[in-house]
Amino acid sequence: MITSPSRLLPMASHSCSCCGSASRTDTASIPAASDSSAGGSSPSYQVTGLTCGHCAKSVTQALQALPEVDDVQVDLAAGGVSTVTVTGVVPPEMVRRAIEEAGYTVLS
């Protein structure tokens, strides 16, 4: 029986916030959500630094730990700007803070 050597999967890029060092910028003056209406809305946040499935899982878990979050969807754009959509009644500032504490940068 001949077996081929196992292929190693590529590591996440060096800018991956969960697997390597990432530079963070101060985003205090940047609005957090593109839709901040209350009442079970689903605002979307533009986030940089999400480069792999583990990054998306980290952000999802951080957001699901917040009270009043019903669902989190991550549209991963590795190497670009990903979209994080949060369903529930949670203040946009709280969402932005949770994403940033997980190691990522919220653009809008």
Q: What is the pLDDT of residues 46-58, one digit of tens each?
A: 999 998 999 999 9
Tell me the average pLDDT across 33-51.
70
Confidence tier at 61 by pLDDT (50, 70, 90): very high
pLDDT of amino acid 108: 80
**Statement: residue 29 has pLDDT above 50:** no
Tell me the average pLDDT across 10-26.
47
The structure's pTM equals: 0.66
Distance CA 7, CA 9 (A): 6
Distance CA 69, CA 95 (A): 9
pLDDT of amino acid 16: 59
Q: What is the pLDDT of residues 65-92, one digit of tens each?
A: 999 999 999 999 878 899 999 999 999 9
